[in-house]
Structure 1
Amino acid sequence: MMQLLGGVIVIVAFAAIIRKYETRTVLLIAGALMCLIGGVMGQFMDSFVKTMIHGSLVPTICTVMGFAFVMKHTECDQHLVHALSGLISKSHAVIIPLAMLVTWWLNIAVTSAAGAAAAIGSILIPALIAAGVHPAMAGAAILAGTWGSTISPGNTHVAFISKMASVDVMYVVLETAVPAIIASFVVAIALTLVAAVKKEGPSKARQQALESEGDASLTAKLKVNPLKALAPIIPLVILVVTNLNLPMIKAMGISKVSVPAAMIIGCVIALLIARANPQEVTKNFFKGMGEAYGSIIGLIIAAAVFTQGMQAMGLTDALLTYMKDSESIAKIAGSFGPFIIAILCGSGDAAALAFNGAITPHAATFGMNMVDLGSLAQISGAIGRSTSPVAGAAIICATLAKVSPMELAKRNIIPMLAGVITFLILF
């Protein structure tokens, strides 16, 4: 009876999230209610406080967001996007997959899906449309690339998984990078085929019609500063180089650099390159840290409380009992569960965090390890979010393309499904 009631609460919670109720509020209320019914209300606050002051999770996520705010303040992110937009606009034969892949790789540096959609989409969507690509396909190409952050050292879920598995953040990144990259190429190819079937690729007729309208917003250019364009990727280069254990790096006496340290170094270099006001850079860095704590850390806290409630109601043990006899069931649940929920509610975070908090710590029970199962859930959720018509990134891309978000979702569903299946098979 207790498990049945808990199941009802979980279903109602996810239904509320799908109906766009505030995710943190829903998870906190559901978690508190389950803890109360389970007779362990004291564990509600224990879980809340423990997550709130976590020693590695909080610094990693907050400094990454601080760095993102500095990149926006110094306009380094815009210089990077503009530097690549010229290459894309001249590559008509492969313009759609190239735009999707460029967005995917840039999303590793600009880790927020909505932030990447705004920063990258505001440049590349007009460039694609100007090249004769159908507006809906232009928006879909950028949206399809907004899950590249899944292999970023600054990704919330990567930090969460590394904490659970007691491994380094870069270990999680390097473990998942190759299958994720291959899946991204599968998405790009599938999206290109969709564009070919729908005849929405570069068209001289559309291009000429656009030129005759003289839309100045599609021809606006920024004079690119190469150093500013390189600034957003500096922390990523530092992290990868110092974590690969190359003999040359060891010989130079360079040790592994942590994510917070890499982000702060990146901010200092950006400050010098942009010759920005140190006071303003500092203000924006801490503003970003505050935003990260209020939104991302807040969501992780709420998910931890929700997970505690599931344990109190016996739901976690019931799920483990069902899954432990079949590794295939665990893999399918870890991929298609977050994928489908993310499509419905527009967020890959809630489903992936709930799954990783409740199920992933017990991965060994059904023949897997925490890094594999946790990464499977978080990447599948992110791919699903890049398919959802109600995701923030989709709404931004649709607005920039001046089409309905549903038009983007229709074009992305097959490519993204191909991507999640590819990742499942490879991983």
Structure 2
Amino acid sequence: MLIFIGCIIILITIYLLVKQYETRMILFCAGVAMALVAGEPMAPLKAFSHAMLESKLFEAIISVMGFAMVMKVTECDKHLINALIKPLKKAGPLLIPASTLVTFFINTSITSSAGCSAAVGSILIPLMMAAGIHPAIAAACIYAGTYGAMFNPGYAQVAIIVNVAKSTPIDVVANHFSALLASGIIGAFSLLVVAYLKKENKGYELPGDRAVEDTLGNFKVNYLRAIVPLVPIALLVLGNMNVIPVLKQLAISHAMIIGVFCAFFVTRVSPAKISKEFWHGVGDSFGHVFGIIICALVFVGGMDAIGLVKALINAMISNPAIAKVSAGFGPFILGIVTGSGDAGAVAFNKVVTPEAAQFGLLPTDMGSMAAIGAALGRTMSPVAGGLIICATLAGTSPMEVAKRNAPGMFIACIVTMGLLLYK
């Protein structure tokens, strides 16, 4: 009976998330509701306290977000975007997949899907539309590249997998590198196929009131500034791959701070302004990213109290095939219906991934699959914030954008499952 009530609460939670009520409030209240039904009102509060002590996650996430804000205020991100966009003008028929893959690459530094959508989309979407590409395809191209953040060793979802699997950031990224790259390529070229089949790859004419002025030629790229957003990732990779052994002792937060200093020396923006924006990013990351993680763990605490966690794990142990399918399509479906790649992945990786060995899987494989699956799902969700931004920039419907991304994301999810869970 308790499990039945828990399932009803979860369905209500998903409905409210689809309706775009405040994510943290819904997850927190749902967790408390399940705990009260189970007669364990302290369970979600203990989960809240435990989440607040996740120091390893906290350090990685806030430093990455602080660095991202510094890249914005120093405009280093803008120089990186423009440095990569100029060659796209010569891409010809490959402009569609090239735009997606460029966004995929930029997203490793601008890890917020909504932030990356706004920063890259504001430049690339008008460029593609001016080249005759249909607005829905142009918008889909950008949002299809916003899960490249999983390449970043300091990304929140990677940090969660590291914590659960007792691994290292570079090992986690290296483990899913090929699968993630394959899914990105599938997403990019599937859009090219969709565009050709729908005859949306050329011939679109911008209305007179939306004519695009070519400003790229007037923007002078400073390649030194363009390199700065990539500095922390380069330091972490070179250290952890033992190319430069002395860098191996660098933590993610250390690499981000070095990147901040590089931004100052290259741009000479006021140190006070850089400091202010860094801590602004730190505060935002705690309130938004870490806030969702905390509330997701409260939600998990409620599920645990009502018996859903134990029932789910027992079902997976009885049939390991369910575990593999659930790791891929569970977070994938949640990503579609909620428009968030975080909530479902966090909940799954905190509840199920620690038991991966019982299903015959490695925690790194299962954790990465859940995180990538959730990201693929929200990439084809019409209620995802970043997709709505892209659709707005293109002047089209979010549903039209989602429909064009759907085939590629579904195929990418299956391929990723094959590469990570059935190897």
User: Normalising by the residue count of structure 2, what TM-score does the alignment of the two structures yield?
Assistant: 0.95
- Give, in angstroms, the shift of residue 167 of structure 1: 1.4
User: Which residue pairs with 2:21 in the alignment?
Assistant: 21
- Give, in angstroms, the shift of residue 93 of structure 1: 2.3
- Give, in angstroms, the shift of residue 328 of structure 1: 2.1
Alpha-carbon distance change, 291 to 212 in structure 1, aligned in 2, over 3 angstroms = closer
User: Which residue pairs with 1:307 in the alignment?
Assistant: 300
User: Which residue pairs with 2:229 in the alignment?
Assistant: 232
In the alignment, the residues of structure 1 paired with residue 51 and residue 267 of structure 2 have an alpha-carbon distance, to the nearest angstrom, of: 36
- Give, in angstroms, the shift of residue 16 of structure 1: 1.4
**Are residues 1:267 and 2:264 paired?**
no
In the alignment, the residues of structure 1 paired with residue 323 and residue 11 of structure 2 have an alpha-carbon distance, to the nearest angstrom, of: 19
User: Which residue pairs with 1:50 in the alignment?
Assistant: 50
**1:36-47 mapped onto 2 (5 Å cutoff):** 36-47=36-47
User: Which residue pairs with 1:283 in the alignment?
Assistant: 276
User: Which residue pairs with 1:170 in the alignment?
Assistant: 170
Query: Which one of the candidate residues 240, 245, 248 is aligned to 2:242?
Result: 245
User: Which residue pairs with 2:350 in the alignment?
Assistant: 357
**1:271-350 mapped onto 2 (5 Å cutoff):** 271-350=264-343
- Give, in angstroms, the shift of residue 213 of structure 1: 7.1
- Give, in angstroms, the shift of residue 182 of structure 1: 1.3
Q: Contact 2:61–2:285 (CA<8 Å) still a contact in 1?
A: yes
- Give, in angstroms, the shift of residue 216 of structure 1: 4.4
Query: Which one of the candidate residues 384, 387, 392 is aligned to 1:391?
Result: 384
User: Which residue pairs with 2:138 in the alignment?
Assistant: 138
Alpha-carbon distance change, 13 to 214 in structure 1, aligned in 2, over 3 angstroms = closer
Query: Which one of the candidate residues 211, 214, 231 is aligned to 1:215?
Result: 211
**1:117-196 mapped onto 2 (5 Å cutoff):** 117-196=117-196
Q: Unmatched 5+ residue regions in structure 1?
A: none
In the alignment, the residues of structure 1 paired with residue 55 and residue 210 of structure 2 have an alpha-carbon distance, to the nearest angstrom, of: 54
**Are residues 1:420 and 2:416 paired?**
no
In the alignment, the residues of structure 1 paired with residue 180 and residue 309 of structure 2 have an alpha-carbon distance, to the nearest angstrom, of: 28
User: Which residue pairs with 2:104 in the alignment?
Assistant: 104
In the alignment, the residues of structure 2 paired with residue 49 and residue 106 of structure 1 have an alpha-carbon distance, to the nearest angstrom, of: 35
Root-mean-square deviation over aligned CA pairs: 1.6
In the alignment, the residues of structure 2 paired with residue 237 and residue 127 of structure 1 have an alpha-carbon distance, to the nearest angstrom, of: 30
- Give, in angstroms, the shift of residue 331 of structure 1: 1.4
CA offsets 1:67-124 (integer angstroms, 9 cap, x no match): 0100010111111111111111111121101000110111111100000001111111
In the alignment, the residues of structure 2 paired with residue 349 and residue 306 of structure 1 have an alpha-carbon distance, to the nearest angstrom, of: 13
Query: Which one of the candidate residues 367, 372, 383 is aligned to 2:365?
Result: 372
CA offsets 1:146-170 (integer angstroms, 9 cap, x no match): 1111222222111111111121122
Q: Contact 1:126–1:218 (CA<8 Å) still a contact in 2?
A: no
2:195 maps to a residue whose letter is: A
Q: Contact 1:310–1:316 (CA<8 Å) still a contact in 2?
A: yes
- Give, in angstroms, the shift of residue 50 of structure 1: 1.9
2:142 maps to a residue whose letter is: I
In the alignment, the residues of structure 2 paired with residue 242 and residue 67 of structure 1 have an alpha-carbon distance, to the nearest angstrom, of: 19
Q: Moved runs in structure 1, 4+ residues, more than 4 A?
A: 209-214
Query: Which one of the candidate residues 251, 254, 265 is aligned to 1:258?
Result: 251
SS at match of 2:55: coil
1:408 maps to a residue whose letter is: V
Query: In the comparison of the two structures, how many residue pairs are matched?
Result: 419
- Give, in angstroms, the shift of residue 36 of structure 1: 2.4
Alpha-carbon distance change, 381 to 223 in structure 1, aligned in 2, over 3 angstroms = same
In the alignment, the residues of structure 2 paired with residue 230 and residue 224 of structure 1 have an alpha-carbon distance, to the nearest angstrom, of: 11
In the alignment, the residues of structure 1 paired with residue 95 and residue 56 of structure 2 have an alpha-carbon distance, to the nearest angstrom, of: 40
With 310-319 and 356-365 compared, the bigger mean Cα shift is at: 356-365
User: Normalising by the residue count of structure 1, what TM-score does the alignment of the two structures yield?
Assistant: 0.95
Alpha-carbon distance change, 214 to 158 in structure 1, aligned in 2, over 3 angstroms = closer
Sequence identity of aligned pairs in percent? 42
SS at match of 2:70: helix
Alpha-carbon distance change, 214 to 386 in structure 1, aligned in 2, over 3 angstroms = closer
Alpha-carbon distance change, 211 to 341 in structure 1, aligned in 2, over 3 angstroms = closer
In the alignment, the residues of structure 2 paired with residue 237 and residue 270 of structure 1 have an alpha-carbon distance, to the nearest angstrom, of: 15
1:357 maps to a residue whose letter is: K
Q: Unmatched 5+ residue regions in structure 2?
A: none
With 58-67 and 152-161 compared, the bigger mean Cα shift is at: 152-161
Q: Contact 1:239–1:256 (CA<8 Å) still a contact in 2?
A: no
CA offsets 1:185-205 (integer angstroms, 9 cap, x no match): 1222211111111111144xx
Q: Contact 1:150–1:382 (CA<8 Å) still a contact in 2?
A: no
SS at match of 2:256: helix
2:211 maps to a residue whose letter is: D
With 325-334 and 393-402 compared, the bigger mean Cα shift is at: 325-334
